[in-house]
A and B are shown apart, each in its own frame.
Chain A
Amino acid sequence: MVERKIKTVYDVVCPFCGTLCDDLEVDIDIKEDSVIEVRNGCQIGTKKFFSSNPSGHRYLKPRIKANGEHKEVSWDEALDAAADILVKAKRPLLYGFSSTECEAQSKGVELAEILGAILDNTASVCHGPSLLAIQDVGAPLSTLGEYKNRADLVIFWGSNPVHAHPRHLGRYSEFVRGYFRKDGRNDRFIIVVDPRNTHTAQIADLYIQVKPNEDYELINAIRATLRGVELDAKEVSGVSIEKIRELVDMLKLCNFGVIFFGMGLTQTLAHHRNIDAAICLTRELNDHTKFLLEPMRGHYNVTGANQVFTWNTGYAYSIDFSRGYPRYNPGEFSSVDLLIKDEVDSSLIVASDPASNFPAAAVKNLFKHPLISIEPHETPTSAFADVVLPAAFAGIECEGTAYRMDKVPLRLRKVKDAPGECLSDKEILEKLIYKVKEKLGE
């Protein structure tokens, strides 16, 4: 039997989803510097810790593409090549940032400003519409602790936490016992609105099946019914008027309600107008009882990316620095639109994999121009990158700050060292800024 020296790190924050669970225990093999056991984590978060172990997928040294093949080079050479690409570009795009810590994101803003680049984060393909709606009509939000301790009516609208945020239900919204909700699940009434009968819907008290892409009409009907208007229609979005009336009664009767909404609202037709209507509904429900809503953010630090970008530039995503000052217009400066129209001439992708998630037309144009990828392991994006800068996993191999989905900042912990020559995203961006400044003669 091989003898192992094990170190256990307690109270680790999980860098996977926006729930940002902060009670993980991670066992590390000291000799091999690898994760051997993760306790308290969900399936997805645990897997992320294991994926940081040395394997064939991880980049250990910087790489440059030459004659169609990646070859390992020194940091100096790789950074020089990357800075060259960025300085020569007339309209570079900096995208990603949601799976790294706030300090690195802030460096990203600095680099974008120096380059006159376009700066975007993954919110532009997930909860960007929520931000647009919040700018239009405001938002009654709160921290997750409030929902845990007080909520007796919870609505999951177009979100499926059983699969996407597995511990959200146990920690904040459904099964957890709160200060005023001593009986946990029995003290809460759960409603799920979704076109699919998801696993979240199967454990709910009431499931409302809405027709795909018709959420706006349903919210609209609920709002009108809440005002006491007799609707002309007999059925809205596949839901009968009787059922809508029943639902409105429930919403009015609860002591403290909350709507958790996900991609089912933000990325179906009507996008930000769905959220606009949901926010107006929440606001109007406050005439009768206490009601709040909360976006179910995906990446663990996408909220942080929005926060950092906002305090640095005034805008949360889709920012254009080409005129020297920040300008904001999703649809014009958002990555997918820019790439589809082929309006960028080089890109730097930080901790993200657009090649797997963007539309094919956008990915085609992304690969057409020089591409730099800051990435811990091989992804479809980094495989086609001209320069690959190997990064350490933020929250596993380096410290940093991350914002939970309710905008609460938490300190990420370092549980082990990064393998090979990997550096943290922050260090890489700092070095890149230095190189770029050198080339620009500043």
Chain B
Amino acid sequence: MVEIKLKLKKKPELPLEADIITPDNFVGKNVADIKKLELYYGKEVVKLGNFFDISGKSTDINDTKIIIDGDLSNVKRIGENMSGGEIIINGNVGMHVGSQMKGGKITVNGNADDWAGAMLQGGELEINGDAGHYVGAAYRGFWQGMKNGTIKVKGKVGNETLAWVNGSKPGKRFPKLICGSAGAFLGIHSHGGIIIVEGDCDRCAGADQVRGAIVVKGKVTKILPSYKKIGEVGEIELPNGEKLTGKFIEYSGDHSVDKNHSKIDKKTGEISKSSNGRLYIAA
């Protein structure tokens, strides 16, 4: 694996839009070329070399590893649209890290700001700290959010995580999030997302969920009134075939959505076991 090392010289005062920092853009370039890459600082176009000390070289995209050091909390869009290779960020990072990423891996050894892994299409995003709001969510007005890949957050995630997530069994796309704890409106408008919360979760988890599964291993502040309790289960089968064991209470929903309502038998009131949304909360 070839390493390219970037070190932030000084924390920028205004946000630096570093969507240029991806293995795709660095491949086949030497240090001098990489230093000349352009990015936006406010409305000014600046060179990457002005803000970072750079060393290393890259030849093949899947063999490229970018290591970034420094307080990057004001550096946005690192790894946007990347399709392969690896980025390791040692420090806090700004908004949109790994947004719309298609492949490869990003590891953040610190906290990430809002929109981390927004509309992820593939690959893996690992955050070893907390993440902001809208992790893996769809951008404003999009009806299809995260479509594939995995996001792992060790700490807590903010509100509206994985909004409009869009998985598909026939398409073998299973977008997945594993997080320490979650804010409000987890998986809102979910269409087939898999969400596992190791700790607690705030209000309105799975609001407007059509398909998918949300597993909360801790407590939930409040369950939405439109969720219907099914019963206690000892084992959960997730949409991607994985199995989880442990005592959970199974809920079906969100039944305020038309597509889920049709899953309730009109005569008997029984809830169909087929593909409507599920919420599992530790018993």
Measured CB to CB, the residues of A under 8 A from B are 90-91, 115-117, 132, 135-136, 216-217, 220-221, 223-224, 227-233, 236, 269-270, 273, 276-277, 280, 284, 321-323, 328-332, 343, 345
| B250 beta carbon closer than 8 Å to chain A | no
A232 and B225 contact, CB distance less than 8 A: yes
Tell me which residues across on chain B come within 8 A of A221, comparing CB atoms: 225-226, 256
Q: How far is the CA of A115 from the CA of B42 in the complex (A)?
A: 11
B184 A343 Cβ-Cβ under 8 A: no
Interchain CB contact under 8 A, B225 and A220 = yes
- Docked complex Cα distance between A284 and B258 (Å): 9
> 1/0 contact trace for B111-144 toward A, CB 8 Å?
0001100000000000000000110000111010
Q: List 5 A-B contacts (CB under 8 A).
A: A90-B43, A117-B43, A273-B188, A280-B208, A329-B139
Number of B positions contacting A (CB below 8 A): 43
The interface residues of chain B lying within 8 Å CB-to-CB of A328 are: 140
Interchain CB contact under 8 A, A90 and B41: yes
Q: A223-B256, A331-B133 are in contact. Are A233 and B184 (CB under 8 A)?
A: no
The docked-state distance in angstroms from the alpha carbon of A273 to that of B183 is 14
Decide if B229 is an interface residue (CB 8 Å cutoff). Answer: yes
Q: Known interface pairs A269-B184, A284-B258. Does A236 touch B225 (Cβ–Cβ under 8 Å)?
A: yes
Contacting pair B14 A229 (CB below 8 A): no
- B224–chain A nearest beta-carbon distance, Å: 5
Q: Is A229 within 8 A of B228, CB to CB?
A: yes
In the assembled complex, the Cα of A276 lies from the Cα of B266 at a distance in Å of 27
Given A216-B203, A322-B17, A323-B17, 9 more contacts at CB 8 Å? A136-B140, A136-B189, A231-B225, A231-B226, A232-B227, A273-B188, A322-B42, A331-B133, A332-B95
A224 touches B256 (CB 8 A): yes
Q: Does B9 contact A (CB under 8 A)?
A: no
Known: A229-B228, A231-B225, A343-B14. A330 touches B140 (CB 8 A): yes
Q: Which of B160, B208, B255 is close to A229, meaning CB atoms less than 8 Å apart?
A: B255
- Taking the closest CB of chain A, its distance from the CB of B256, in whole angstroms, is 4
Chain B, 202-236, CB within 8 A of any chain A CB: 203-204, 207-208, 222, 224-229
Q: Which residues from chain A contact B256 at a C-beta distance below 8 Å?
A: 220-221, 223-224, 227, 229, 277, 280
Minimum distance in angstroms from B40 CB to a CB of chain A = 6
A273 in contact with B185 (CB, 8 Å): yes
| B242 part of interface (Cβ distance < 8 Å) | no
Assuming the contacts A329-B140, A345-B14, asked whether A227 and B258 have C-beta atoms less than 8 A apart, the reply is yes
CA gap between A216 and B14 in the complex, in Å? 36
CA distance A49 to B197 in the complex (A): 57
Whole-angstrom CA separation of A132 from B139 in the bound complex: 10
Q: A230 touching B43 by the CB < 8 A rule?
A: no
Q: What are the residues of chain A within 8 A of B222 when measuring CB–CB? A: 217
Task: Check if A230 sits within 8 Å of B269, measured CB to CB.
Answer: yes
B49 interfacial by beta-carbon distance below 8 Å: no
Contact between A331 and B114, CB atoms less than 8 A apart: yes
A322 and B43 contacting across the interface, CB-CB below 8 Å: yes
Q: Which residues of A contact B140 (CB under 8 A)?
A: 132, 135-136, 328-330
Known interface pairs A135-B141, A229-B255; A90-B207 also in contact (CB < 8 Å): no
Q: Does B7 contact A (CB under 8 A)?
A: no
Instruction: Give the contacting residue for B207; candidates A117, A220, A231, A329; CB below 8 A.
Output: A220
Residues of B within 8 A of A223 (CB): 226, 256
Q: B44 interface residue, CB < 8 Å from A?
A: yes
- A224 neighbours in B (Cβ, 8 Å): 225-226, 255-256
Kindly provide the distance from the CB of B35 to the nearest chain A CB, expressed in whole angstroms: 21
**Separation of A217 and B207 alpha carbons in the complex (Å):** 10
Given A217-B225, A223-B226, A231-B225, check contact A323 B40 (CB 8 Å).
yes
Interface pair A233/B42, CB less than 8 Å apart: no
Closest chain A CB from B246 CB (angstroms) = 22
Instruction: Determine whether the beta carbon of B204 is less than 8 Å from that of A270.
Output: yes
Inside 8 A of B114's CB, which chain A residues have their CB?
331-332
When distances are taken between beta carbons in the complex, the residues of chain B under 8 Å from A229 are: 226, 228, 255-256, 261, 264
B70 to chain A, nearest CB (A): 18
A91 to B184, CA, bound (A): 32
Nearest A-chain residue to B225, judged by Cβ: A221
Contacts of A232 in B (CB 8 A): 225, 227-229
Residues of chain A within 8 A (CB-CB) of B44 are: 90
When chains A and B are docked, how far (Å) is the Cα of A321 from the Cα of B160? 27
B43–A220 touching, CB < 8 Å: no
* CB proximity of B75 to chain A, nearest CB, Å: 13
Shortest CB–CB separation between residue A30 and chain B, in angstroms?
49
Residue B15 at the chain A interface, CB threshold 8 Å: yes
Identify the closest chain A residue to B185 (Cβ): A273
**Contact residues in A for B141 (Cβ distance below 8 Å):** 135-136
Contact across chains for A90 and B42 when beta carbons are under 8 A apart: yes
In the complex, which of the residues B40, B42, B224, B258 contacts A220, with contact meaning CB atoms closer than 8 Å?
A: B224
Which of B15, B227, B255 is close to A343, meaning CB atoms less than 8 Å apart? B15
Alpha-carbon separation in the docked complex, A343 to B14 (Å): 5
Minimum Cβ distance to chain B for residue A324 (Å): 8
Chain B window 127-171, contacts with chain A (Cβ cutoff 8 Å), 1 for yes, 0 for no: 000000110000111010000000000000000100010000000
B172 to chain A, nearest CB (A): 27
For B134, the chain A residues whose CB sits under 8 A away are: 331
| C-alpha gap A330/B134 in the complex (Å) | 12
Chain A min CB distance to B79 (Å): 17
| Residues of chain A with a CB closer than 8 A to B225's CB | 217, 220-221, 224, 231-233, 236
A137 to chain B, nearest CB (A): 9
Contact indicator A227/B42 (Cβ below 8 Å): no
Q: How far is the CA of A231 from the CA of B189 in the complex (A)?
A: 20
Q: Which residue of B43, B189, B204, B229 is within 8 Å of A91 (Cβ)?
A: B43
Contact A270 B184, CB 8 Å, known A91-B14, A231-B225 = yes
Shortest beta-carbon distance from A391 to chain B in Å: 27
Q: How far is the CB of A131 from chain B (nearest CB, A)?
A: 9
Query: A117 to B43, alpha carbons, bound, how many Å?
Result: 8
What's the Cα separation between A269 and B41 when bound, in Å?
33
**Contacting residues, chain A, for B15 (C-beta < 8 A):** 343
The residues of B that contact A90 with a CB separation of less than 8 Å are: 14, 41-44
* A132 CB contacts on chain B under 8 angstroms: 140
